[in-house]
Amino acid sequence: MPSKCRQCIIKRFNALKTLTHDELEKFSDHKTSLLIKKGENLMTEGNSINGLYCIKDGKGKLTKLNTNGKEQIIKFVKGGDILGHRSILSEELVGLNAIALEDMHVCFIPKGDILDTIRENNNFSLDLMRNISHQLNEANTSISQMAQKPVKDRLAETLLHLETIFGLDNEDCIDVVLTREEIANTIGTATESAIRLLSNLKKDGVIDLIGKKIKILNKNSLKNISEGY
């Protein structure tokens, strides 16, 4: 039996915290629950979209396919994040692929309900703006770093960022499983280069590599590297 949105918001979501009781009831009644299995697409670049996705749990990547066919990872998402609002708001096609890194439980709320709520609940509307504005700021920072930092610095930056987003597992490793290729596609480099630089960081005692899991041993050192020292 699908749970009520109200229960879920309390437990997981920040993004929809401004909704009233009645609005949550409406969302509850109209929502669809989805299971997106590891590797499956929740949204696909270029498609149109007719609702908002709320991630209940699981982890995912937002990617863009380049003209040369290479995948660029733009952002990581997890439980509590919302997807598709940018596209709904701008009335443009979906700009990014959302792909599950592990099984994800997701709720789908129809576009009509979202737009109604934007019209009626000013706090919700302001909250969405805040969310997108914040993302825009992050994206601008990312442009600058992609353009001007060498690969090693971007790798260090990314490892710190991944820890911030996903936290640590019970063995103090960054709590997400990524292939070396995905790491490379995040920092914008060749897979071999990412592998080599990770090996170097391990050799220098800055990180440890346990299979696909990464443990940060010296956060300060990583910070310095990410800033070019």
Q: What residues line the site for DNA (CB under 7 A)?
A: 150-152, 179-181, 188-193, 195-196, 198-199, 209, 211-212
Q: Which residue has the tokens 């709520």?
A: 117
CB of 66 to a second copy, least distance (A): 5
Nearer to DNA, 109 or 198 (CB): 198
CB of 66 to DNA, least distance (A): 12
Partner from a second copy, DNA, none contacting 119, C-beta within 5 to 8 A by type:
a second copy
Rule CB under 8 A: is residue 32 a binding residue for a second copy?
no
Partner from a second copy, DNA, none contacting 136, C-beta within 5 to 8 A by type:
a second copy
Partner from a second copy, DNA, none contacting 217, C-beta within 5 to 8 A by type:
none
Rule CB under 8 A: is residue 95 a binding residue for a second copy?
yes
Residues forming contacts to a second copy in the complex (CB under 8 A) are 64, 66-68, 70, 72, 74, 85-87, 89-92, 95-96, 118-119, 122, 125-126, 128-130, 132-137, 139-149, 187-188, 227-228
